[in-house]
Amino acid sequence: MTSAAEVRAAVAATHRSDWARIVGGLIRFTGDWTLAEDSAQEAFETALQRWERDGIPPAPGAWLTTVARNRAIDRMRRVATEQRVLRSAAALDPAEPDADDDRLRLLFTCCHPALGLEARVALTLRSVAGLTTAEIARAFLVPEPTMAQRLVRAKAKIAHAGIPYRVPPPELLGERLPGVLAVLYLLFTEGYSATSGDAVVREPLAEEAIRLARLLRELMPRETEVSALLALMLLHHARRAGRMGESGDAVPIDLQDRALWDAVAIDEAVTLLRRSGSRGPYALQASIAARHATSPSWEATDFEGIVSDYDALLLLEPSPVVALNRAIAIGMADGAAAGLDAVRQVADAPQHLALAAEADFLRRLGRREEAAAMYRSAIAVARTAPNRRYFEARLREVET
C-alpha cells in the first residue's frame, strides 16, 4: 500500500512530464484525437487507483503509456476499426526514439494557422498541456459546453480539412514557428494580465505557458527565439509577487518592492537571453524586461538601453503600443519634457494608455492642473477597475 497523497503526487508529476508524449503517440497511431485523449485520461485515472494498491511502478511514464495504449486498443475494438490501425497501435513502444517528435507534432498541429486563434489556444491546453475541458473553460471564463464545442470543432477541422499531423518541413518551419510562439505568449499574457479577482484562477495559465515554452526549448534547442520567449516569460513572472498590492490591485513597476522579485528566475532568464544571441521580437522584449529586472532601483534603470531596444523592436513590429512605450522610455532617459513631446507624437495609441502617460509627464513637470484634467480623462476611458483606481489615486496626488 502506498499513501493516497504519494500516489496523487506521482500521478500529477507523470501527468506533467508524460501527458503530451502519450497523447501525441496515440494520435500518431490511431489518427483519432478524441480517442487518444480519452484513453490517456482513463489511464491516469486507473493509475490513481492501481498505484495505491500495487505501489508506484518504477517507470511510471512507461506504465501509463502501456495502459493508455491498451485502453485505445479496447476502444477501437469496440468500434471495430481496421485491422491495419490495430496492428500499428499494438506496436507502439513506450521507449521509442522519436517520442519527442510526438510532442512537437502535437504542438505544431494544435497551432496550425488554419485553426482559429481561440481554437489553437484551447487545443494546446487540452492536448499538449493535458488540462481538462472544465479547467480550460474556467481559465477563459466561458461555460464548459462552449469550450467543449470549441474543442470538438477544432478536432473536426483537423480531421476533415486534412491538416497534417506533423512538424512542418524545414521550408515551412520559419513561417510556422512564430505562430506557435504567439499561442504560447498569448497563453502567458492571458494568465498574467489578470490583476484582481481572477488572478487565483489564472496564474496556472502563466505557469502552463512557461512549462510549454520549456518543453519547446528542450525540443528545439537551436531556435533562438524560443529561448528568448522563455526568458521573457520568466522575467515577467519573476516580478509577480511585487506586482500585487495589498488591495489586490497591480502596483506599477516604479513603486514595486524589488526584494519581492524572484532573483533565481531573473538569473536564469538573463543567462538564457544572453546565450540565445537572438535579436528577434521576443529577445528585444526580454532585453527590455531584463534591464528593468536587474536594476537595483527604478531611478538606476538603463533607460537609454531600453530606448534602443524599443527602436529595434519598432523596426521589426511597428505598433502604436510599442511606439508609446518607447516614448515613455525617452521621458525616463531624457526627462519629462522630452517624454511629453515624444508621447504626443505617437499616433493611434490606445487612448487610456496615452492619456495616462501624458498625465504622468505633466505631473512630473509640476503642471498639476493639466495633469489632473488628463487623469480625469484617463479615468473616463479606463478599461479595468484596477486601472481606474490607479488613475484616481494619482489624481488625488496632484489635487492635494
Select from 283, 291, 288 the least CA-distant residue to 310.
Answer: 288
Count other Cβ atoms within 10 Å, centred on residue 378.
26
Select from 288, 296, 232 the least CA-distant residue to 265.
Answer: 232
Q: Shortest distance, CB of residue 109 to other proteins, whole angstroms?
A: 11
Q: Shortest distance, CB of residue 136 to other proteins, whole angstroms?
A: 25
b or e along 33-46 (b: 16 or more beta carbons within 10 Å of the residue's beta carbon)? bebbbbbbbbbbeb
What backbone torsions phi and psi does residue 248 show, to the nearest 5 degrees?
95, -5
Region at 34 (left for phi over 0; alpha for psi -120 to 50; beta for the rest): alpha
For other proteins, the closer of residues 112 and 202 by Cβ is 112
For other proteins, the closer of residues 163 and 182 by Cβ is 163
For other proteins, the closer of residues 163 and 321 by Cβ is 163
| Cα–Cα distance measured from residue 87 to residue 394, given in angstroms and rounded to the nearest whole number | 69
Q: Shortest distance, CB of residue 253 to other proteins, whole angstroms?
A: 40
All cell numbers assigned to 343: 508621447
**Amino acid at the residue 337:** A
DSSP letter for each residue of 94-107: TT-TTHHHHHHHHH
Q: Shortest distance, CB of residue 165 to other proteins, whole angstroms?
A: 9
**How long, in residues, is the chain?**
400
Give me the 163-202 binding string for other proteins, x by CB under 8 A, dash otherwise. Answer: xx---x---x------------------------------
Please identify which residue in 160, 264, 318, 347 interacts with other proteins, judged by CB under 8 A. Answer: 160
For other proteins, the closer of residues 39 and 109 by Cβ is 109
Task: Pick the stretch among 125-133, 155-163, 285-293, 381-389 that binds other proteins (CB under 8 A).
Answer: 155-163
For other proteins, the closer of residues 114 and 385 by Cβ is 114
Please identify which residue in 162, 170, 296, 318 interacts with other proteins, judged by CB under 8 A. Answer: 162
90-129 residues in contact with other proteins (CB under 8 A) are 112, 114
| Cα–Cα distance measured from residue 203 to residue 123, given in angstroms and rounded to the nearest whole number | 19
Task: Pick the stretch among 92-100, 154-162, 256-264, 323-331 that binds other proteins (CB under 8 A).
Answer: 154-162
All cell numbers assigned to 12: 500529477
Q: Name the site residues for other proteins (rule: CB under 8 A).
A: 112, 114, 160-164, 168, 172
